[in-house]
Structure 1
């Protein structure tokens, strides 16, 4: 119990000390707090229009973020690794993928129409 009290007192002391900082470097004109309120250069439409070299960067990074989000959504919906159904028997869930391509790319041209047909039936 005493350790908890000491930790609470130390935490209160540190937070009071940090709130008491009133140095011109931090709070004054041109200080850190004033500069933290402004958006970074290149993140407003006005500054982005001025810096032509940043425009392709924003487009490429934005496209990459959209692709990653779409691929994560596809992984959550289409693959066998994630199960969204409430069925207790996993054979019913994974039987859904028999004869379907669930991989993103198929460069080898594998025929998935016969996928899962050669599996032994353990229920019989």
Structure 2
């Protein structure tokens, strides 16, 4: 079995090798944004991994859709990335909408609204 830890939730799940990170996150009831049905079209499911050797190599979709800097920073598309029989930690970034809402709320609090 493979073990995935999802951050910032610090939730661990065991899955069979070959499962995508997106499938595993759904099984763990962890939200990773994805609107394309796992076809690498929306690019919303970008995650950062700590152990790239625990995953299958980059798919052609990932090679064409991720920048060189993203690839160097261990960013992967959760819908395309399958786990091997190892452990990996996956960091899920805060959604862009959530960032905007949080910034707006902080601004209102700073202004005493």
- Give the alignment's TM-score, normalised by structure 2: 0.21
Structure scoring higher RCO (CA < 8 A, sep ≥ 6) equals 2
Q: Which has the higher strand share?
A: 2
Max Rg structure: 1
- Give the alignment's TM-score, normalised by structure 1: 0.20
Q: Which has the higher helix share?
A: 1
